[in-house]
Structure 1
Amino acid sequence: MPDVYRALGDSTRRRILNMLKQGNKSQKEIVEAFDISQPAIKKHLNILLEERIISESLNGKYRIYSLNLNILQFAYHEMLQYIEELLDDQLVSLKNYVEKGELRDEQD
């Protein structure tokens, strides 16, 4: 499973993803949209590639980047399931806490 938190944990990577949701972009187009160096952008692209959030292809001498929608959809569903489990655990804890409080009130 891709580490979505790693991929989305940086504002530059989020901006790159926002660019790519508009359509495929060359590395040059991505670099020109930022005020940081090409090697710094390449580092962010590599993290997104490692997590398989984006794909890379060659078009002549240009590297073209695109969103990997299947992986994003999978990661989205995994994250929803994780959040649902967290909330379920919290609701069970709250229910137990409330029920114990009611028992104490009845005993008083």
Structure 2
Amino acid sequence: MADIYRALGDSTRRRILSMLKQGNKTQKEIVMAFDVSQPAIKKHLTILLEEEMISVSMKGKYRIYSLNHTALQNAYQELLNHIGELLDDQLISLKNYVEKGEFQDE
């Protein structure tokens, strides 16, 4: 399962994903959109590939990057489930607190 927190934990990676939302891009197109070095962008692309948020294909000598829609949908669902569990725990704690009457009316 992809680590969505690792993939989205950096603003550069989020910007790369936003770019790819508009369509497939070559590595050169991605690099040109940033004021950082090619090796730095390559590192971000590698992380996105490792987490399966994007995929890469070769067209001649060019690497073409695209979104992995299935992995993104699965990661999104996993994130929603995680947040839902956190909220459920908080709501249960609040319910127990209110039911015990451990607060004072002002």
Q: Which has more helix, going by share of residues?
A: 1
Aligned match of 1:6? 6
Is 1:68 the equivalent of 2:50?
A: no
Over residues 39-73 of structure 1, what are the superposed CA-to-partner deviations in whole Å (9 max), with x where a residue is unaligned? 00000000000000000000000000000000000
Deviation of 1:16 (Å): 0.4
Sequence identity (%): 77
**Rounded Cα–Cα distance in structure 1 between residues aligned with 2:84 and 2:34:** 36
TM-score of the superposition, structure 2-length normalised? 0.94
- Alignment coverage as a number of residue pairs: 104
**Rounded Cα–Cα distance in structure 1 between residues aligned with 2:32 and 2:86:** 41
Aligned match of 1:96? 96
Over residues 10-55 of structure 1, what are the superposed CA-to-partner deviations in whole Å (9 max), with x where a residue is unaligned? 0110110010000000000000111110000000000000000000
Aligned match of 2:87? 87
Could you say what the CA RMSD is over the residues aligned between the two structures, in angstroms? 1.3
Deviation of 1:80 (Å): 0.5
Which one has a bigger Cα radius of gyration? Answer: 1
Alignment of 1:11-90 (within 5 A): 11-90=11-90
**Rounded Cα–Cα distance in structure 1 between residues aligned with 2:81 and 2:9:** 19
- Where in structure 2 are there 5+ consecutive unaligned residues? none
